[in-house]
Amino acid sequence: MIITELIEKKRDGGEMTAEELEFLIGGLVNKEVEDCQMSAFMMAVCCNGMTDREISDLTMTMMRSGDTVDLSDLPGVKVDKHSTGGVGDTTTLVTAPLVAACGGTVAKMSGRGLAHSGGTLDKLESVPGINVEQPLERFEQIVRETGIAVIGQSANLVPADKKMYALRDVTGTVKSIPLIASSIMSKKLAAGADAIVLDVKTGNGAFMNTLDDSRKLARQMVRIGDDLGRKTVAIITDMNRPLGMAIGNGLEMKEAIDVLQGRIPLTDPLVSVCLTLGAQMLLLSKLAETREEAEEKLRDALVSGRGFMKLKSMLKAMGGDTRYVDEPELLVRTSRIIPVYPVKSGYIGSIDAKQLGLAACLLGAGRLRKEDSVDPAVGILMNKRYGDRISENEPYAYLYVNNEDRLDEALALIEAAVSISDEAPAEMPLVYDIIE
């Protein structure tokens, strides 16, 4: 095969065979296909799309490009949960321990944050001493002992995706649904999951800004899972506002601990979405027969404190200093806490989640570039939610700050991200759809 002919075939709207995709992906990993050639191919995919069969073949080829994890020795259905990325999205740190406390087996590999979207590994690393880069043998041992482990992706897990994603990031091909779907699902499949729950975000703080695009992506990933023999469900959730009140690694870890210790009510939006995600995980794990039964089990695990103990056991097994779990205020000690006031009294009429996420990055809570360092303690703690009434002498947010070099820029983003209206805005749903 000749790589230029394959690029031209896709450029002209042709359908790739499994053998052609294997040649292309194998060549990329073995450095026989140039970065510029793969970039051209991915731009052709971005413009012309792929058939369902092509996407499944691409996913399988990417999955087989490196190591795969065999979790068959572990008990029960191995269930994973993946979010497409958002702001104030602490669901893994709440949902995974609750599911494990209900008898589930949660073996999860997570990623780091980039730009406005937070990463679970960075949140975990706000706990001093923790090591998220566990060898696979230790990963399996932790899951066997505690029912839950969340670690970083091993170096040779889906190397094709690492190369492709780096190119997509600089060639304007990030938002291609076939490329997003194959990227996510190849990693989930390689990590050994039997069942996968996908949290597909939609709105101004998500990578898929419209509900229509989010549904397309969700359906495509569920179809891939079905084609490749994995039970898969996608839940489309709102990201037109931060899900939780905390934006920043230590702040989000503290919020997750507060949820699991019962300090945040069950009616809170973050808790509500966690219960919805967790219920689907229990259903796929065959640990509940109905959504109502699943949510009742999760609430019991939360109220009893069993979910909190699962989180604490996992963090301890990964080397974390559990003193910071028992005293989560230690996670968010900063040199200054700065209140942010509205320009007038009224209602929180809109919140641009993406801009708040970027503001938190400017404070040091995230990365605008992959090489940026992260300060685990800093970030933004919202004091009001979308639709809440507020007076002009009442802060709607607090900034946790250590380095003030870009504080003015962060403040400008925050002030532009939150609008105050004279009338209460229309309610927005937290969950738009569940796709099976």
pLDDT per residue, tens digit, the chain (436 aa), is 899 999 999 999 999 999 999 999 999 999 999 999 999 999 999 999 999 999 999 999 999 999 888 888 888 899 999 998 889 899 999 999 999 999 999 998 887 666 666 688 899 999 999 999 988 889 989 999 999 999 887 778 889 988 998 888 778 887 899 999 999 899 889 888 899 999 999 999 887 889 999 999 999 999 999 988 899 999 999 999 999 999 999 999 999 999 999 999 999 999 999 999 999 999 999 999 999 999 999 999 999 999 999 999 999 999 999 999 999 999 999 999 999 999 999 999 999 999 999 999 999 988 766 667 889 999 999 999 999 999 999 999 999 999 999 999 999 999 999 999 999 999 999 999 999 9
pLDDT at 113: 61
Q: Is residue 428 part of a domain?
A: no
pLDDT at 137: 87
360 and 265 in one domain?
no
Query: Whole domain around residue 298: which residue ranges?
Result: 78-326
384 and 294 in one domain?
no
Q: Is residue 382 part of a domain?
A: yes
391 and 272 in one domain?
no
Q: Is residue 402 part of a domain?
A: yes
260 and 316 in one domain?
yes
Q: Which two tokens stand for residue 181?
A: 């779907």
**Which among 116, 123, 162, 168 is annotated as catalytic?**
168
137 and 46 in one domain?
no
Q: What is the pTM of this model?
A: 0.91
Q: Is residue 72 part of a domain?
A: no
Dihedral angle sign, alpha carbons of residues 94, 195, 232, 104: negative
**Which among 80, 161, 194, 352 is annotated as catalytic?**
161
411 and 300 in one domain?
no
Q: Is residue 427 part of a domain?
A: no
Segment 102-118, tens digit of pLDDT: 999 999 888 766 666 66
Catalytic residue status for 241: no
Which residue from 375, 386, 383 is spatially nearest to 353, judged by alpha carbons? Answer: 386
Q: Is residue 319 part of a domain?
A: yes
CATH number of the domain at 393, please: 3.90.1170.30
364 and 316 in one domain?
no
Place of tokens 């990365």: 367
CATH number of the domain at 297, please: 3.40.1030.10
CATH number of the domain at 27, please: 1.20.970.10
Give the Cα separation of 219 and 117 in Å (integer): 22
**Which among 83, 183, 214, 313 is annotated as catalytic?**
183
Catalytic residue status for 183: yes
Catalytic residue status for 83: no
Altogether, the residues listed in the chain come to a count of 436
Catalytic residue status for 116: no
Count how many domains the chain has.
Answer: 3
- Bridge partner residues of 231 (DSSP): 195
Which residue from 251, 278, 31 is spatially nearest to 126, judged by alpha carbons? Answer: 251
**Which among 10, 78, 82, 123 is annotated as catalytic?**
82
